[in-house]
Amino acid sequence: MKFVQHLLKLYILALKSEEMEPEKSIALRPKFEVESKNSVDKILEKAKQLKTELKADYQIKIIDEHLYFYFSKEKRKYYSPFLHLELEANEDKTTVKGLFGPEQLLWTLFMFLHFIIAGLFLVFAMMAYTHWSLKQSVVLDFSIMAIMVVFWFSLYFMARLNRERSVPQMHELEDLMYKVLE
């Protein structure tokens, strides 16, 4: 029972981590939440200032109360992360909700492959049930379902490997975020 409780705690921490420790998170897109004493307008002004100063190393996009930090094309690798910040004004402070993620194209491909694998798994599960109810062989159906499960896990571990490679760049983006929030 304690093991299940421990796993549940890890899962909840992975879904919403208050601290930025991507090395310890099992989530592929780590989330965090910090607070700043500065107002939203002051943070946006600082982001605009840094956008021009750091143009060679970073791309900063500002859309309403959302900030997106990317690496420049020269520093970007296929596993390079981006950082999305959502600014929420409170009474005397600003709540900043952050999300690290892979490049959108890579994430879209990753999700597409997940849906294809899940779809094939479900199709062969239905075929296995049909063959079983007709008293036919289900070996091929279960074999393909097992292969889909192996592909599912391999996709997850490939994504974790890419995230581990991107941890130093995540910390770079985190430092940039704190420059904006100062």
SS3 92: coil
Tokens 């063959």 correspond to 131
For the segment 16-27, the average pLDDT, to the nearest whole number, is: 57
pLDDT at residue 90, as a whole number: 83
H or E element in which residue 133 lies: helix 104-133
Count of C-beta atoms within a 10 Å radius of residue 83: 23
What does the alpha-carbon distance between residue 107 and residue 98 come to, in Å, rounded to a whole number? Answer: 17
| Higher-confidence position of 42 and 27 | 42
Residue 180: pLDDT band by 50, 70, 90 thresholds? Answer: confident
Question: Do residues 58 and 46 touch, judged by C-beta distance below 8 A?
Answer: no
Task: Write down the pTM of the prediction.
Answer: 0.72
62 burial type by CB count under 10 A (0-12 exposed, 13-18 middle, 19+ buried) = middle
Give per-residue pLDDT as tens, 147-167: 999 999 999 898 888 888 888
pLDDT over 60 at 19, yes or no: no
Q: How much is the average pLDDT of 64-91?
A: 87
Give pLDDT, residue 123: 97
CATH of domain 16-182: 3.30.530
Distance of CA 180 to the CA centre of its chain: 22
pLDDT band for position 15 (cuts 50, 70, 90): very low
Compute the average pLDDT of residues 134-151. 96
Higher per-residue confidence, 117 vs 58: 117
